[in-house]
Structure 1
Amino acid sequence: MRNSVEFVVYGDYALFCDPLLKLGGEKCSYQVPTYNSIKGITESLYWKPTLIFVIDTIRIMKPIRMESKGVRPIDYNTLKNTLANYTYLKDVCYQVRAHFEFNMNRPDMAFDRNEGKHYSILKRSLEMGGRRDIFLGTRECQGYVEPCVFGEGKGFYDEYGDIHLGNMVHGINYPDETGRDQMEVRLWNPVMRNGVITFPRPEECTQVRTISEMKPKHFDHTNVESADALLASWGEGGIER
């Protein structure tokens, strides 16, 4: 696929939290990553408001295992520590195939639609492990990214058949990507077939609920060109990553 990248992301722990289980202060991970969590990882490789990343498929390479930990998070009402149990995924590894498209809802970024430039920077950033830190769902779960060929290697679920994962969050719609002045949540019912999950595009999701009103942030030539100059100085060794 045009502008496509393939990479493997892995780490010791992951927490792709089910929002319904956060109401009591506890956190419990979904069995697999959400679309938006993988999109966020891809944007940590390289992102500009000119682009929209589309996640095509993900391959679950290792068995789904969970581990519960006692933690002491901050209680936001009292600003003191409280007690909670977080249930993490343990020893995770995913192969991802994604591509980018230009954000046509951002006419203010039309001057920056240089496909070759963005694709070259994306490939170089992937080879370096990303421009920003990689997190597997939450800040305490550090992840690592490397280029790969999607489908290579043996996965734990290669001959497992279909696994229905129930209703879960697909992702969030933001106004600068939809053209609507509201934030929305998307739900779907994923099926993992022999370890591979094929994501529908965000606009293909039929279960969409409005969360709140929201206005997009606007960019102009000044702050975009300043960001380009800063990134160029990184590449020249002027600023350390």
Structure 2
Amino acid sequence: MSASLARRALAEAVGSAALVAVVVGSGIQATELTRDVGVQLLANSLATGFGLGVLIALFGSVSGAHFNPVVTLAAWFTGRRTPDGPTLRDVTAYLSAQTAGAIGGAVLADAMFAEPLVHWSSHDRSAGHLWLGELVATAGLVLLIFGLGRTGRAHFAPVAVASYIGAAYWFTSSTSFANPAVTVGRAFTDTFTGIAPASVGPFIAAQVAGAVVGLGLAAAVFARPAPATIAPAPAQDEAELAASRSF
């Protein structure tokens, strides 16, 4: 990454804020337009998928467009023995920016729809099958990101990651938060996409466990490519580059 750490952290903060604003805002809009829960979820998932793809394409060449603490931590873990892997200083800056941005995005969405700016969610999501859904959703996301990196197809990330999250809204019981920062941000809004603060901790634990599973699957499924065969795309992010050189 040629950008300074300050620029990369800013990109992560703005991208995370925009992502949560899309998630929360589209959820509020959907509930105002229809009472059909299926249509509400469809609108929310489509907006999230399209928005995420745009944000990855926009910020990928600056910060890698992680917008997700488990992706950043996985990038650090897999790249810790490589000279161009993220450092602990990078990780600290990224995680702080992602979390602050996610909270700001939730507050912004509430403001745009005349909701209370900070209203803790009352949407309880404390159940074992939901935690399993989060584990599966996060494992699949990490497997996808690092699998693309290891196979030299990181340039497909905007479309592939957005498509996966859109699909995971529907095939996982938890509707695929798959992101600790987004989970924290969604606790600040008592709307369609909110999550009660008491449910946040178990969700994040399931996401971290899912990231470990996803990294393990990436190591087991994809062979380490020879350095000469790797031709990273200009927008390839840290996580993908580190994934292609690690394990």
TM exceeds 0.5? no
Larger radius of gyration: 1
Task: Please state which structure has a larger fraction of its residues in helix.
Answer: 2
TM-score of the two chains, using structure 1 as the length reference: 0.32
Task: Please state which structure has a larger fraction of its residues in strand.
Answer: 1
Higher relative contact order (CA 8 A, sep 6+): 2
TM-score of the two chains, using structure 2 as the length reference: 0.31
